[in-house]
Amino acid sequence: MKKNGWMILSVTMLAVALVVRADGQTGAAPASEKPATTKPAAAGEKAIVLSPGAATVAGKNVNVRGKAGFKGEVFTKLQNGDAVNVIEQVILLKPKAGEPSTWAKISYPTNAYVWVHGSYLNADKTVKPKKLNIRTGAGENYSIVGTLEQGVAVKEVSTKGNWTQIEAPADAIAFVAASYVRQDATSDMAPPVVSVQQPAPETTTIGSDPIIASTTTDLANTNPPVEPNPTIADSANVPPPVIEEVWVPRTVTHEGIVKATVSIQAPTKYGLHAVDSGKLINYLYSPTAELEMSRYAGKHIIVGGQEGLDERWVNTPVLTIQKIYVVR
């Protein structure tokens, strides 16, 4: 009897050890045992390029999250062969150990619902404020995956305290690890859109009502302009002061052709050149090895990011890439 009890306990522990969550996380497997489906760390990941459009899931019980990365809570799962719509590819600039660095932003799965705070719905189930955040769960600690406009009617599914579960709008988003997404290599596939996600800064929230979405702001430079303040001399013989331009880093969007730089002393290996004249616009700097610029050599792109000057190359700014879109 005692022997049979030990055998049952051993089988139970083995079953628990084989549980694997399909987005690079493992379940209760022992530290000494490496599950076969565990994804490699970011440094060893295979390069993945996804384009906006149709795709399918490759894997069982693939986690769907409210944010890119393990910080995003899992709110549903997808199965092998499930159809998804890719919006863009997201690359984490500083992934945690064991965390996939490349993620797919997808349209919200049809097998999941979203939540809103019930106090912001009218009696006829229309939205009260100008914009209302929708979340993956019933609470402010869940990820925001979209917004609803004032007056939009929602379809209630259930309630939980002050929160109302509703059907997700068409523009709601979610995230899955890109390694579990497959696309057919067809000629009519849309050009890839890649976003580089900066690490979230630590902020302190003031107030207790973060439910309504804040007004969208432009990412352009918010630093106050530096105005020269020359001293006005009484004598007419004093030459006018020399006013030097002060370069302030700014967020920009440029269009051009990617070409390899000629000089070995250039700050980066690739530059963005004007489509018509071929003139160098920016040196292109990729903040992560996952965004390999050699893949874009010779391509016509639209690129956005922060533009600043390198002290060695004062005539041509360096653009740190945050988003890149292939035109052709």
**Each residue of 177-188: pLDDT tens digit?**
999 999 986 545
Instruction: Describe the chain by its helix, strand, coil percentages, rounded to 5.
Output: 10, 35, 55
Lowest mean pLDDT among 184-193, 271-280, 296-305, 318-327: 184-193
DSSP string, 162-173: TEEEEPPPTT-E
CB neighbour class for 13 (10 Å; exposed up to 12, middle 13-18, buried from 19): exposed
What is the distance between the terminal CA atoms of the chain, rounded to a whole angstrom?
71
Report d(CA 66, CA 127) in Å as an integer: 22
The structure tokens 């490349």 sit at 102
Query: What residues form DSSP beta bridges with 78?
Result: 62
Provide the 3-class DSSP secondary structure of residue 2: helix
Report d(CA 19, CA 38) in Å as an integer: 11
Pairing of strands 156-160, 163-166: antiparallel
Domains of the chain: 41-108+171-199 (2.30.30.40), 114-167 (no CATH), 250-326 (2.40.50.140)
pLDDT, one tens digit per residue, over 217-252 is 223 334 444 444 444 445 455 555 544 444 456 788
How far from 230 is each of 190, 223, 239, CA to CA, in Å? 53, 21, 12
Report d(CA 68, CA 172) in Å as an integer: 14
Supply the pTM of this predicted model.
Answer: 0.61
